[in-house]
Chains A and B, each alone.
Chain A
Amino acid sequence: DTGVSQNPRHKITKRGQNVTFRCDPISEHNRLYWYRQTLGQGPEFLTYFQNEAQLEKSRLLSDRFSAERPKGSFSTLEIQRTEQGDSAMYLCASSYKRGGIRDLGELFFGEGSRLTVL
């Protein structure tokens, strides 16, 4: 059983560098979500895709952040010119939404990619 896979699990970078995280969702899932979580807080929504279309973006997603899901399968989240405030766990989740069927909100999360910006 392959759940949601995220890589790398840990990334340490210097301020100003660019980083990219990859998420491989559960294979038949058509929705993919990115969240960010800092210590002691709940996950904060960043963006989500249905297939390859990015349908919603949070105000937290500044112009230094870009997410893609080019073929409706895996997704990447890139952070340009990293800042120390970007240090967090970046979580990816996926779900399956059938057309005409109510989305029951069961998201399957990966184990996250932890970013430390020095």
Chain B
Amino acid sequence: DAKTTQPTSMDCAEGRAANLPCNHSTISGNEYVYWYRQIHSQGPQYIIHGLKNNETNEMASLIITEDRKSSTLILPHATLRDTAVYYCIVREGGSQGNLIFGKGTKLSVKP
């Protein structure tokens, strides 16, 4: 079973920041937080991951709370092309295993 809880859906206005929350209250010390997204009819796409520090790349920022029990993915200036299902996943670093996806958050960016 997925170890994360996410809202089923969210709306965001085009050009505004999209803040997608994720709860992972049972995360253990060696588990990373990963974010993927899936645009309709495409395969999932990696966005970002982190362990305890906040992370930023060209796509998004990841803010992890100090207790690591929750995180927020931030898309700073959402566009219509960011409409997708966003998956938050926790996984042990160095694990040989797979990523376990939940149902994710359906983000709709509206003009």
B100 neighbours in A (Cβ, 8 Å): 45
Q: Chain B residues near A103 (CB, 8 Å)?
A: 93-96
Q: Are A111 and B32 closer than 8 Å at their CB atoms?
A: no
Q: A41-B103, A105-B91 are in contact. Are A56 and B97 (CB under 8 A)?
A: yes
B45 at the interface (CB under 8 A from A): yes
Count of A interface residues, CB-CB < 8 Å: 26
Contact (Cβ within 8 A) A56 B93: no
Chain A residues with a Cβ under 8 A of chain B: 4, 33, 35, 40-45, 48, 50, 55-56, 91, 93, 102-112
- What residues of B have a CB within 8 angstroms of the CB of A107 in the complex? 36, 44, 46, 99
Bound form: Cα–Cα A40–B87 in Å: 13
Q: Name 12 A/B residue pairs within 8 A (Cβ), A-sorted.
A: A40-B103, A42-B2, A43-B101, A45-B98, A45-B100, A91-B43, A91-B44, A103-B96, A104-B49, A105-B99, A107-B36, A111-B42
**A residues less than 8 Å from B96 (CB atoms):** 50, 55-56, 103
Q: For chain B, what secondary structure do more than half of its interface residues adopt (helix, strand, loop), or is it mixed? A: loop
- A108–B46 CB distance below 8 A: yes
> Could you tell me the distance between the alpha carbons of A117 and B91 in the complex, rounded to whole angstroms?
33
Question: Which chain A residues lie closer than 8 Å to B103 at the CB level?
Answer: 40-42
Bound-state Cα–Cα, A102 to B95, Å: 8
Q: Is B21 an interface residue (CB 8 A)?
A: no
Residues B44 and A109 in contact, CB atoms below 8 Å apart: yes
A40 to B103, CA, bound (A): 7
Among B34, B44, B45, B101, contact of A105 (Cβ-Cβ < 8 Å): B34
Provide the bound-state CA to CA distance between A56 and B103, in Å: 23
- Complex Cα spacing A102 to B30, Å: 12
Q: Which residues of A contact B101 (CB under 8 A)?
A: 35, 42-44
> Measured between alpha carbons, how far is A102 from B104 in the docked complex, in Å?
26
**How many Å lie between the Cα of A110 and that of B101 in the bound state?**
16
